[in-house]
Amino acid sequence: MALEDAAKQVDTAITRDGFKGLSFENTFGGVTSFLRRTYTKDLTNVDIAVTGIPFDQAVTNRPGTRLGPRAIREASSLQSPDPAYGWGFDVLSEFAVADYGDLAFDYAHIDEFPATLEAHITSILDQDAACLTLGGDHYITFPILRAHVKKHGPLSLLQFDAHTDTWADDDMTRVDHGTMFYKAVKEGLIDPARSVQVGIRTTNEDTLGVNIIDAREVHETGPAAVVEKIKSILGDNKTYLTFDIDGLDPAFAPGTGTPVWGGLTSAQVSIILRDLAGINVIGGDVVEVSPPFDTTGATAIAGAHVAMEILNLWAFNRRG
């Protein structure tokens, strides 16, 4: 049946009737929404919306993540014909998933960007849809958290990253991708005692009380122990999951702005994310995919897989 469908399906991102179902069009052609989901600004009856934030003016090293959402969408077409491996259900057939398109903003008015992004995410949440975001640099998580906290209250943060991004900065107007979680703690957006940062391998003495599982601990104790520790910290708290692609070692994700050696492997991450099934994920993002620094496309492929895993984690507790 899939082969027959592939011969006649095209551009299901704009031709699909409804929001559910796998897509069997040729993976190398057609309009590339995320996972071939329907493009729409009307989220009526949509369970979760995917949106792109093509912003990279907050980076401290190499730019290029403004091209991340487009690259992740293209890479995700490889996953559109099949249910995600290892989950035992098909999130694309059981839930209404839509692609909300990208944030529109004036790149020359960076001072307006945080409020513009917060309003954009709020507009999704106000339509009773959850939100999965494709970045963009990691600063975007700060306005996104503000929007989620307005709806859900203070959250646990589950962060995969090479850096803690909690460097001190009391100027809330600065747009910087290394200080936003310091600000998030200071604003009371996240509960540090019930939050976890995984894969850390850069020095920042003040963790603000956030629990750290550094890259060495992951390597030495293994994914199963890491999952058990994460679950014991998060409990059933509402959790926002943010995945900086530099949490992966540069061998697996070279296309990022601030690569650091000694990182997590894609195999470790795939096991950890799938075994975290049951945590209370209310939203998430994948950030820092910078296609210009990876001619192979491997980083965008990794980003697309992580985004699919976040989608399944969100869906797991909501099935029936």
List, as residue ranges, the binding site for Mn(2+). 138, 161, 163, 165, 244, 246
CB contact set of 137 (below 8 Å; sequence gap of 6+): 55, 56, 57, 58, 59, 65, 177, 257, 287, 288
End-to-end CA distance of the chain: 27
Instruction: Write b or e for each residue in 171-188: b if 16 or more Cβ atoms lie within 10 A of its Cβ, otherwise e.
Output: eeeebbbbbbbbbbbeee
d(CA 118, CA 219): 36
CB contact set of 44 (below 8 Å; sequence gap of 6+): 127
**Of 253, 275, 256, 164, the residue nearest 214 (C-alpha):** 164
Known binding residues are 138, 161, 163, 165, 244, 246
d(CA 253, CA 274): 20
**Secondary structure of 167-235 in HEC code, one letter for each residue:** CCCCCCCCCCCCCHHHHHHHCCCECHHHCEEEEECCCCCCCCCCEEEEHHHHHHHCHHHHHHHHHHHHC
CB contact set of 4 (below 8 Å; sequence gap of 6+): none
